[in-house]
Chain A
Amino acid sequence: MSTFDAILQGFSVSLTPANLWFTFLGCLLGTIVGVLPGLGPAAGIGLLLPITFTMDPTSALIMMAGMYYGAMYGGSTTSILINTPGEAGSVMTALDGYQMARNGRAGAALAVAAIGSFIAGTIGIVALSLLAVPLAEVAIDFGPAEYFCLMLFAMAAVSSLTGSSVAKGMFATMLGLAVATVGVDLQSGLARFTLDVPQLEEGIDFLVVVVGLFAIGEVLSGIEQYLRGDTAVLRIQGRLWLTREEWRRSVGPILRGSMIGFFKGVLPGAGATISTILSYVLEKRLSKHPEKFGTGMIEGVAGPESANNASTCGVMVPLLALGIPGSATTAVLLGAFIMYGIQPGPLLFDTRPDLVWGLVDSMYVGNLMLLILNLPLVGLFVRILYIPKTILLPMVLAICLIGVYTINNSTFDVWLALGFGVLGYAFRKLDIPLAPIVLAVVLGGTMEQSFRRALSISDGSPAIFVSSGIAITLLIAALVMLCLPLIVALVARMRRRSRQAGGASVAH
Chain B
Amino acid sequence: MTDILIVVAMAACTAAYAALAAAIPVLNIGDPLGPRAFPTLIAVGMGLSALLLLGEIWRARRRAAPSAPAQSQPPLGGRGILTLGAVVALFALYILVVEPLGFVLASAVFLMVCCTLLNRRAWRVHALVAVGLPLALYGLLAKLLMVPLPAGLLPF
Q: Which A positions have Cβ atoms within 8 angstroms of B? A: 50-51, 165-168, 170-171, 173-175, 177-178, 181, 185, 187-190, 192-193, 195, 216, 220, 223-224, 226-228, 388-391, 393-395, 397-399, 401-402, 405-406, 409, 411, 414-415, 418, 422, 430, 432, 448, 451-453, 455-456, 459-460
Chain A residue, CB-CB nearest to B107: A398
Chain B residue, CB-CB nearest to A185: B35
- Let me know if A397 and B20 touch, CB within 8 A: no
User: Is B135 part of the binding interface, using a Cβ–Cβ cutoff of 8 Å?
Assistant: no
Q: How far is it, in angstroms, between the C-alpha of A405 and the C-alpha of B115 when the chains are bound? A: 22
Contact A171:B95 (CB < 8 A) given known A190-B27, A406-B149: no
Chain B interface secondary structure, helix, strand, loop or mixed?
helix
User: In the assembled complex, how far is the CB of residue A79 from the closest CB belonging to chain B, in whole angstroms?
Assistant: 19
Bits for B8-23, please: 1 = Cβ < 8 Å to A, else 0: 0010010001001100
Q: Which residues of A contact B118 (CB under 8 A)?
A: 223, 226, 389-390, 393-394
User: In the assembled complex, how far is the CB of residue A451 from the closest CB belonging to chain B, in whole angstroms?
Assistant: 6
User: In the assembled complex, how far is the CB of residue B14 from the closest CB belonging to chain A, in whole angstroms?
Assistant: 8
Chain A residue, CB-CB nearest to B113: A394
Q: How far is it, in angstroms, between the C-alpha of A394 and the C-alpha of B106 when the chains are bound? A: 13
User: Is B102 part of the binding interface, using a Cβ–Cβ cutoff of 8 Å?
Assistant: no
Chain B residue, CB-CB nearest to A410: B99
Q: Which residues of A contact B87 (CB under 8 A)?
A: 220, 223, 397
Apart from A398-B137, A455-B31, list 6 A-B contacts with CB within 8 A: A193-B17, A220-B84, A389-B118, A390-B119, A455-B33, A460-B33
User: Is B48 part of the binding interface, using a Cβ–Cβ cutoff of 8 Å?
Assistant: yes
User: Is B64 part of the binding interface, using a Cβ–Cβ cutoff of 8 Å?
Assistant: no
Partner of A165, one of B39, B53, B133: B53
Q: How far is it, in angstroms, between the C-alpha of A409 and the C-alpha of B133 when the chains are bound? A: 21
- Let me know if A188 and B91 touch, CB within 8 A: no
- Let me know if A174 and B88 touch, CB within 8 A: no
- Let me know if A430 and B126 touch, CB within 8 A: no
Q: Which residues of A contact B114 (CB under 8 A)?
A: 394, 397
Q: How far is it, in angstroms, between the C-alpha of A223 and the C-alpha of B88 when the chains are bound? A: 11
User: Is B29 part of the binding interface, using a Cβ–Cβ cutoff of 8 Å?
Assistant: yes
Q: Which residues of B contact A432 (CB under 8 A)?
A: 6
Q: How far is it, in angstroms, between the C-alpha of A390 and the C-alpha of B30 when the chains are bound? A: 54
Q: How far is it, in angstroms, between the C-alpha of A405 and the C-alpha of B152 when the chains are bound? A: 15
User: Is B155 part of the binding interface, using a Cβ–Cβ cutoff of 8 Å?
Assistant: no
Chain A residue, CB-CB nearest to B46: A174
Q: How far is it, in angstroms, between the C-alpha of A16 and the C-alpha of B10 when the chains are bound? A: 52
Chain B residue, CB-CB nearest to A168: B53
- Let me know if A391 and B125 touch, CB within 8 A: yes
Partner of A391, one of B20, B91, B96, B129: B129
Q: Which residues of A contact B38 (CB under 8 A)?
A: 181, 448, 451-452
Q: How far is it, in angstroms, between the C-alpha of A59 and the C-alpha of B66 when the chains are bound? A: 58
User: In the assembled complex, how far is the CB of residue B93 from the closest CB belonging to chain A, in whole angstroms?
Assistant: 11
Between-chain CB contacts (< 8 Å), 7 pairs:
A171-B46, A178-B39, A178-B42, A227-B83, A401-B98, A406-B147, A448-B38
Q: Which residues of A contact B33 (CB under 8 A)?
A: 451-452, 455-456, 460
- Let me know if B2 and A430 touch, CB within 8 A: yes
Q: How far is it, in angstroms, between the C-alpha of A50 and the C-alpha of B147 when the chains are bound? A: 9
Q: How far is it, in angstroms, between the C-alpha of A401 and the C-alpha of B95 when the chains are bound? A: 8
Q: Which residues of B contact A390 (CB under 8 A)?
A: 115, 118-119, 122
